[in-house]
Chain A
Amino acid sequence: MPDEDLQKELIRDLIIESVEGLDRYDQELLEFENDHDAERMNVIFRVIHTIKGTAGCLGLGRIEKVAHVGENLLSLLRDDKLKVHEGMISVLLSLSDALKEMLDTLENTESEGDKDYGELIAKLDALQNEDAEPQAETPETDDSQSFGLFEDEEEADEVSASADEEGTAFGFFDDEEEPQTEDTPESVQIEEAPVNQSEPTPTKAETPKAKKPTKPNCSGSSNVADSSIRVDVNHLDRMMNMVGELVLARNQIIVNSTNYDENALIKASQRLNLITTELQESVMKTRMQPIGNVWSKFPRIVRDVSSEIGKKVNLIMEGKETDLDRTIIEAIKDPLTHIIRNSIDHGIETPEKRIQEGKPEEGMLSLRAYHEGGQVIIEIMDDGAGIDIERVKSKAIEKNLITSSQGSNMTEREAMNLIFSPGFSTAAKVSNVSGRGVGMDVVKTNIEKIGGSIDLQTQIGQGTTLNIKIPLTLAIIPALIVNSSGERYAIPQVSLLELVRLEGPQAKSEIEDLYGSPVYRLRGKLLPIVFLDQQLKTRLEDTNDGFSDEDIVMNIIVLQADGRPFGLVVDQINDTEEIVVKPLGKQLKGISCFAGSTIMGDGKLALILDVLGLAQHSGVITDSDNRALLDDDKSESDIESRKQSMLLFNIGEDRRMALPLSLAARLEEFSEDQIENTGSQQVVQYRGQILPLIRVADHIQGINTSNEYEGKTPNTLQVIVYTENDRSIGLVVDNIRDIVDEEIVIQRESSTAGIKGCAVIQNKVSELLDAPEIIKSADPGFYASAC
């Protein structure tokens, strides 16, 4: 590699490493402010030290100089020679700002820029010399704008000389850390976008004449550090393997297109299918990033904003590890930052006011992220003043967003949504932080752009909660394709619980009418039913004409919206498919029943149903349901706990028997010729063991087996394998019928040996088999030898 390229490469590495490092630096510094953990200070020190070292190697004297001064101060802190205080943290934070600024300039102009950081250096120096006495200093990041003299090589040399004097490590092969090699064994840097380096710029990064405007050359957000992610090397290897397989599958198909062989084609398509799926998952995994990556910047923002406007805020973050698609993470960064600033500025009150109102002096701002139903929910909650709805209304009227008559007719929720309209701000005065009237509308548009939604709840004096729901990934989701009134619709698999099909004459009557609302009894519970064609107003007038009752088939899709199940009746259920989600046009956003559209295999479009929207539209879930829902859940869990899974089978001709499923280890079928005899017992070889068989019928009184077995010797035996203490025994029954979940109440004790009693299962009387009793009578040694 030519030297020039090498230099560029190294500088780019430096930028990536340093920006990452400085983010960490900010975080650790803020934590250090609270817990004074010496280990943190080591990390902090190391970041700056690394930057200084690497910058020095690459001849970036100005960065090195600033880092060096910072390092000096940090080394004193590390060695406990100085006590940290708030003012010092602020200065150290502005050190990281200054370094970031220089790195930014370096990236955009390939020179370090010529901004004078003298003031910062002086401050850092002053702090070194001060004694432990705390001194409040305002954080001031804005350094003087004067274009200082160019720092030239001489000065850099001077710095390195002084660095040597200090005895601090400096140079290429610093043993303490070497940024490039630190992570290489398990991770590698992937560049998403090639960094713009094509400009013919002076090669020497230090050339003072390379004075270019410091603004980014292309889109502002995509700088080097943001456009790279860390990926596990093993993962990358696996992906490469899969791509190899993909190529092979493609080759097979290409060969097939010239000499057609149906079997080979089917095989190749299956392989292709498999590989695509795996590859898709794999790539998705690569793109998934914990939301903590964005959040890590928030403590700093909270600190800066709150100290700027004199408020005290405690930031709580939960669910940092929640994974999200990278593009989504990028997209929510700015909206979240804005919301946080807003919460501090508008929401949380000044300490004096909080004390007056009997709240703790320090305001609470909590961020919570979690997965729910294929979505990620981010909750931003503050315990501030809340939002005065009347004030929102009057403000909106004042700004001509609504008329006063509109205002008085608005529901609370509608009024709340005014906050998201363009040109709205309730801040009494415009501050540096917020209140310029642009903001929440942009937040809303940005979130909606990625298919998310934002919802606001507030209570005056108690605080405000913002709920942001965003999809896990924008691109591809599994969905069930259904037909209704001749159109296809896709239902996201995440909200699907089960499918129920009602056939024949009873189909119609099984949907019962409850004051005009159709319901279906699903395993004894009422399930509200929604007819899709009715909801979408696509029902053809003559739906039932020409159908006799026998022809009727009801397809009920049991869906879950907001934790509440409901049944959706459609005309036809097709297959499940992975669909590529395409957003709907702006005009159609208002239709809550649809979440988007997708293009089917035949090139036609199908709409994706928004299950929650559909449920709300049809009135299956409303706010007032919530209470009932809670009660419901409780009673359900009560029943659940008494429910048992029962295995139903027949003995003899018509004796219905039941056995708790938990007692059956496995259900097996053996053919008659597998049975061998050992003495008086019948056994089969089963999983390398000898499994004794007991014919249950022989051990229960009142079952006359003889002529039945003689009459039709079944070719296969159905066997329930019963296992206890690592010993197994096979119970031979005549016909295993079903497994049911039911609450079992023994109605009548039985005097028959081997039968515990009778219970009503599936509306029929069944006898509960006492398996241990039967085993004891048939094979007395089974329990004895186990003990």
Chain B
Amino acid sequence: MNEQKQYCTFYLGNLFFGVDVLKVQEVILFQDMTHVPLSSPSVSGLINLRGETVTAIDLRQRLELPSVELPEPPKNVIISAEGGTVSLLVDEIGDVIEPSEELLEAPPENLSGIAKDLITGVYKLNNNLMLVLDTERTVEFDAAIS
């Protein structure tokens, strides 16, 4: 029996995303951030996570989605990636779900732009689609702007 994967889910606008729950260290509310000059818009700033410096990534920017005024401040999904701990800023947190493997499909061919690199699969859930985000690739970029 292969173990079913669990996904921590969250929303960016209407899009529903999931990341491997084992990669998620914790989910916390919005934190005060220190802006990092000269960094790309994908980096929102730095947060103090119990004495450690964590880079907060604006996931909307990273996925090239338009920025919008949110009714509530974004939430932090803290990811423990290979290169260190990183926070992904998302609009809203969803449940942890365990979708059946049968629902998984490769991302459609017509997916374009950055999404093509970062989305590794799509779960066809009953009421919507869950996009599986590759956390390692999402947090791997050079934030320096030349």
Contacts and interface: CB of A to CB of B under 8 A. Distances in A.
Instruction: Decide whether A and B assemble into one complex.
Output: yes
Interface string A576-603: 0000001111111111111011010001
Contacts of A582: 52-53
B34 A487 contact: yes
B115 interface: no
B84 interface: yes
Contact of B34 (A538, A583, A590, A604): A604
A586 B39 CA distance: 12
A605 B53 contact: yes
Contact of A597 (B39, B42, B53, B86): B53
A591 B38 contact: yes
A536 interface: yes
Contacts of B140: 586-587
Contact of A587 (B43, B47, B51): B43
B144 A592 contact: yes
B32 interface: yes
Contacts of B57: 587
A593 B143 CA distance: 12
A606 B34 CA distance: 7
B54 A587 contact: no
Contact of A588 (B39, B47, B48, B51): B39
A607 B34 contact: yes
B102 interface: no
A588 B32 contact: no
Range, interface on chain B: 20 to 34
Interface string A440-468: 00000000000000000000000000000
Given A591-B36, A599-B51, A605-B34, A586 B46 contact: no
B87 to A, nearest CB: 9
A592 B83 CA distance: 18
B135 interface: no
Contact of B38 (A537, A584, A596): A537
Interface in A493-541: 536-538
A584 B55 contact: yes
Contacts of B39: 587-588, 591
A587 B48 contact: no
Nearest to B139: A587
B143 A605 contact: no
**B38, B43, B51, B139 pick with most chain A CB within 10 angstroms:** B38
A641 B89 CA distance: 60
B37 interface: yes
Interface residues of A, number: 25
Contacts of A487: 34-35, 37
Given A585-B55, A597-B46, A590 B142 contact: yes
15 contacts: A487-B34, A538-B37, A582-B52, A585-B55, A585-B84, A585-B85, A587-B55, A589-B142, A590-B143, A593-B38, A597-B34, A604-B32, A607-B36, A607-B37, A607-B46
Nearest to B33: A605
A543 B109 CA distance: 50
B117 to A, nearest CB: 15
A605 B37 contact: no
A355 to B, nearest CB: 46
Contact of B46 (A538, A590, A592, A605): A605
Contacts of A593: 37-38
Given A487-B37, A538-B35, A591-B143, 14 more contacts: A487-B34, A536-B37, A583-B84, A585-B55, A585-B85, A587-B43, A587-B86, A590-B142, A593-B38, A597-B53, A599-B51, A599-B53, A605-B46, A605-B47
Contacts of B52: 582
A585 B48 contact: no
A588 B55 contact: yes
Which of B35, B54, B141: most chain A CB closer than 10 A? B35
Contacts of A590: 142-144
Interface string A603-620: 111110000000000000
A406 to B, nearest CB: 15
B53 A585 contact: yes
Pick the most buried of A487, A537, A587, A597: most chain B CB atoms within 10 A of its CB.
Answer: A587
Interface in B85-144: 85-86, 139-144
Interface in B12-34: 32, 34
Contacts of B37: 487, 536-538, 593, 607
B59 to A, nearest CB: 13
Contacts of A599: 48, 51, 53
